[in-house]
Each structure stands twice: as C-alpha cells, then as structure tokens.
C-alpha cells in the first residue's frame, strides 16, 4: 500500500481539514496522486482546525503533511485573523451566499496559500496542486473564481524552474469549483469522506465545540440538510 | 514632515535591507509614496539581514514596517533555507551572473513575497508595491523577469476586492529591473542611500561580519568596484 503511494505522482493538497479540502484530497487520491498536504496556521482564533487537519491527513494516508505558520494576523483586515473584528453570527443563509464580500474574507489568502503550494510543488517535483474552492465561495470571495485560478497558473508558469526549463507548469485543480455545499457533501459520502472528522467552525466555544452560528456552521448545516444527509457535527447551538 | 508622509499615497515595499531594496525604498519615497515595509524572516541562516532591515526602515522614516515570519525552510530545496545544502563560496563572477539557476534560488520566493504584499496592500488601501529585482537576478532566477511581474499583476487584478470592485489593481514597480549592480549603487549614491547600513551576505561569520566569499558578497564587491565607489563593507575576506 505504502509503496504504491510512493510510486504515485505527487500532488500538493491545500488542506484545511474542512469538508471541502477533505473531499478534494479524496478526489486526488482516487485519481492516483500521492497526497502532500499543506495546512496553514494563520492567526485563526482557534487551533481546532489545525488539529482536525493533522488527524484527517494521518487517517487518509497522506505521504506527507506540513503545517506552516504564517502571519496573516499581522495585517488585520479580516474577522478571521483580526481579533478587533467580530465573527458575524446568526446571519441569513441567503445573505451569506449572495451578499457583498464578507467580513471573513482574508486579503489575498488564496494567493498566499497557492504561492506556498507552488514552492512546495517545485521542491517535490509535483506538477499538480488541489484546492477546495467552490461555487458557494466565489459568489463572495474574489480569489475563488475560475478566472483567478487560470491567471494564477499563467503566473506560475513564469515563476519557477519548471517554466524556464520547459517542464509542465503547475496545474491548479479545483474539482469543487462548480459545486454547492450539498453536492460536495453528497460526493464526499460517495467517496468515503469521514465528515465527522472534518471541521468548519470559524469561532468554536471555549469547550471546543463548533458554535453553530457563524457563516461557516450555518452553511454546513444547510449543506447537510439539502444533501438529505445526517449531520454528524456536535454544534453548540 | 510626519504629516506629509501620512497624507502621501501608501506603497508596500518588499524590504530585505540589502542594497537593492534600500534603493527601491528611496526611489518610492522620492516619488512621494509613504513607505510600508515588509521584511520576511524565512529560515535564513542568520538574523543580521532582518536587523539591518529594521534599523534602515527606522532611519529612512518608513510609515510602518512589518517583519513576517514564514516557514520556507520547511520545504528545503535551496541553499538559503536548507541547512543540508552548502552556500557556494568563492565562485567566479561570470559564472554567478550567467550560469544556470543558482543553488540559492528559493522556490517561488518572489511569488510568496508578492502574495503577502498583495494582502498587505489591500488592507492598507495601497495600489502600489515596490520590489528590488534586477537584471543581474533575472539571468538566473525565473521570478525576477519582467514577464513574470506582469503575469503577477494580471493575477492580482482578479485576486482581490480591488479587482471585483473596479478599483485600480495592484501595480508592481520594479525600478531596478534593467539595472546592473554598479548602476544601482551609483543611483543609490545619488539618492542618498546609506550603503554602510545595508546587508548582502548570505552566510556571515560567527562574529557577524559579511563573509566576502558567497555569491552575494562577490557581486556586491564587483558592483562597488564597477561603480567606482568606495565599498564601506567590513568583509571577513
């Protein structure tokens, strides 16, 4: 089993430990890639997300998994990294999905994540990276749109040895890009994703439970409901 | 003086504290920008570079200066971040400038730096970033070429609120891009750059002096010689 994974083509997986990146990792694995996970600790309000990523990566048999500390919190400007801003709670589902760019948008986050993926891919000799952006995100986050990902690939082609030496430049796979949360959850069930081990909440309780009221929890609940699947998450509310 | 800087347009300066970024900062300041420096501590072998950046930023009256810790060392793959690889010493000047991609190339480094600059610019409301890449670099480093910088701008336009909301996307200024080290040194002297406070060495002695033998020291010596200027650097050799 191990030797098969070792001989497989390597791919970098941007891996938060949430439903989306767990599904993407499963998709990459089914396509025959050996998984090399990158998880970022970036001034989030909690460590639960990073713990979930570590234990999922282990359970899924990743070939390697790196947790990188980056200092997005130093910039401020997002409710996810700036303690002076409140994580919005109890918002209407429709407003979350269709509103303006949300407070939880982290400036240039996907560009920073993909830049690290590009560097890691070059060191590994990987020609592929996977990211779990999806339709639900890209209504609000500019760096979740297909045209953004294509522009990143075009830049990546010029940024690295691969481009200069005529090898295939990095391909950024976003297999969830046109999927709703409910479709992702259903796909994940088909693929065997262990949803009970994934983490979504932006703002867990002091006891470590998902709050149930932040945008991410609300969209997770809605996703399971619309997928017609039991939600294994122990929300606080 | 301070209030003038506060009312000036902000620009993000990628600021290592070396000759190139010190010159670029001076150029931006002369163009009327308020300087917001970003320095990265990224698994270099030494802290001298970061100290030089801090004290230069203070002396030059930067409006803000952030030192961000990033974990490039975790990837390996470069003599600048991987302790298992040796920093090349005593190489021929011509080989440094015209050889293949050097061992000191850090995979995706400028992409990672510019990605952070993009996020910082968005938080500051800055539409401009400055980077000190130059002709000497881009013979060897793929991410120092003009076409790479244009591709980064095209990607940045799609990555941020600015692009979505119709504001001017980030412009990446590289005023040294067609200059040799000697030209940069001469320009710096004209602009009033304090070269004695800048730092170039990849591998200082235990006593904290520039080694005088790594590629960066060799090119610095050559630059001052060709500029016909006195080199204020206390090299060990």
pLDDT, tens digit, 9 for 90 and up, residues B182-204: 999 999 999 999 999 998 888 88
Token pair 């932040």 is at which residue? A214
Residue of chain A whose alpha carbon sits nearest to that of B118: A108
| Cα A48–Cα A79–Cα A120 angle in degrees, nearest 5 | 60
Residue B56 near residue B23 (C-beta atoms within 8 A): no
More confident residue, A94 or B201: B201
In A, minimum Cα distance to B71 occurs at: A68
Closest in B77, B122, B163 to A107, CB measured: B122
Across the range B43-54, mean pLDDT stands at 77
Q: What is the mean pLDDT of residues A78-86?
A: 54
- Sign of the Cα torsion B210, B214, B217, B218 reads positive
| B48 C-beta neighbours (distance < 10 Å), count | 16
Q: Which strands form B128-130's sheet, in the order they lie side by side? A: B64-69, B34-41, B10-14, B128-130, B171-173
pLDDT of residue A13: 98
pLDDT value of residue B100? 46
- What gap in Å lies between CA A124 and CA A121, rounded to an integer? 5
Write down the pLDDT at residue B140.
66
Cβ-based interface (< 8 Å): residues of B facing A: 66, 68-72, 74-77, 101, 105-112, 114-116, 118-120, 122-123, 142-143, 145, 147-148, 151-152, 154-161, 163-164
Residues of B in contact with A156 (CB under 8 A): 111
Q: Is B69 helix (H, G, I), strand (E, B) or coil?
A: strand
Closest CB from A105, A115, A158 relative to B142: A158
Strand order across the beta sheet in which A64-69 lies? A64-69, A34-41, A10-14, A128-130, A171-173
- pLDDT value of position B99: 45
Residue with tokens 């609940």, as numbered in its chain: A221
Confidence (pLDDT) at A123: 86
- Calpha distance A160→B97 (Å, rounded): 18
Q: Region of A104 please: left (phi>0), alpha (psi -120 to 50) or beta.
A: alpha
CB-based contact B161 A101, cutoff 8 Å: yes
Given a cut of 60, whether residue A85 has pLDDT beyond it is no
Q: How many residues does chain A have?
A: 237
Expressed in percent and rounded to 5, the helix, strand and coil fractions of chain A are: 45, 10, 45
Strand A10-14 and strand A171-173: the pairing is unpaired
User: d(Cα B9, Cα B34) in Å, to the nearest integer?
Assistant: 6
Q: What is the ipTM of this complex?
A: 0.85
Angle between helices A19-30 and A181-191 (to 10 degrees): 50
Residues whose CB is less than 8 angstroms from the CB of residue B67 and which lie 6 or more positions away in sequence, other chains included: B39, B40, B41, B50, B53, B54
pLDDT, tens digit, 9 for 90 and up, residues A113-133: 999 999 999 888 899 999 999
Across A59-150, the runs of DSSP E, i.e. the strands, are 64-69, 128-130
DSSP class of residue B9 equals P
**Report for A17-31, B76-90, B151-165: range of highest mean pLDDT:** A17-31
Task: Give the containing element (helix H, strand E) for A36.
Answer: strand A34-41
Residue A111 and residue B120: Cβ atoms within 8 Å? Answer: no
Contact of A81 with A72, CB cutoff 8 Å? yes
**pLDDT, tens digit (0-9, with 9 covering 90-100), for A151-162:** 999 999 998 877
Task: Quote the crossing angle between the two packed helices B48-59 and B19-30, to the nearest 10°.
Answer: 20
Residue carrying structure tokens 């399971």: A224
User: Which of these ranges, A16-20, A163-167, B9-13, B30-34, has the smallest mean pLDDT?
Assistant: A163-167
DSSP assignment, residue A160? S
| Contact at CB, B142 and A151, closer than 8 angstroms | no
Min Cα–Cα distance to chain A from B144, Å: 8
pLDDT value, residue A84: 53
pLDDT of the residue at A132: 94
Instruction: Nearest by CB to A148, from B107, B118, B158: name it.
Output: B158
- CA-atom Rg of chain B in angstroms: 17
3-class state of residue B212 by DSSP: coil
- The domain segmentation of chain A, as residue ranges, is 2-227
Distance CA B137, CA B148 (A): 13
The answer to whether B116 contacts A119, with C-beta atoms less than 8 Å apart, is no
Classify burial at B166, counting beta carbons within 10 Å of its beta carbon; exposed 0-12, middle 13-18, buried 19 or more: exposed
pLDDT at A131: 97
Share in percent of chain B as helix, strand, coil (round to 5): 45, 10, 45
| Arithmetic mean of pLDDT, B224-236 | 94
Mean pLDDT of chain B: 84
The two tokens of residue A83 are 């303690």
Count other C-beta atoms under 10 Å from residue A59's C-beta: 11
- Class level of CATH domain B2-227: alpha beta
For residue B94, CA distances in Å to B79, B98, B105, B140 come to 20, 6, 17, 12
């Amino acid at each position: 089993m191990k030797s098969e994974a070792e001989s497989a083509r390597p791919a970098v997986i941007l891996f938060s430990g949430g439903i989306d990146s767990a599904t993407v990792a499963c998709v990459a694995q089914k396509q025959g890639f050996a998984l090399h996970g990158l998880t970022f600790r970036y001034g989030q309000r909690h460590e639960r997300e990073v713990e979930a990523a570590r234990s999922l990566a282990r359970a899924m048999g990743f070939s390697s998994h790196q947790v990188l500390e980056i200092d997005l919190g130093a910039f401020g400007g997002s409710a996810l990294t700036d303690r002076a801003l409140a994580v919005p709670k109890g918002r209407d589902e429709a407003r979350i999905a269709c509103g303006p760019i949300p407070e939880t948008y982290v400036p240039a986050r996907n560009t920073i994540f993909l830049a690290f993926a590009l560097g890691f891919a070059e060191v590994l000799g990987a020609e592929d990276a996977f990211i779990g952006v999806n339709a639900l995100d890209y209504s609000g986050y500019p760096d979740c749109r297909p045209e953004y990902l294509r522009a990143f690939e075009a830049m990546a082609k010029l940024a690295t040895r691969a481009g200069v030496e005529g090898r295939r430049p990095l391909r950024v796979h976003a297999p969830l890009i046109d999927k709703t949360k409910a479709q992702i959850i259903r796909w994940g069930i088909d693929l065997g994703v262990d949803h009970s081990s994934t983490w979504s909440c932006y703002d867990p309780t002091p006891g470590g439970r998902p709050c149930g009221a932040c945008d991410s929890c609300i969209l997770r609940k809605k996703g399971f409901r619309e997928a017609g699947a039991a939600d294994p998450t122990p929300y606080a509310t």
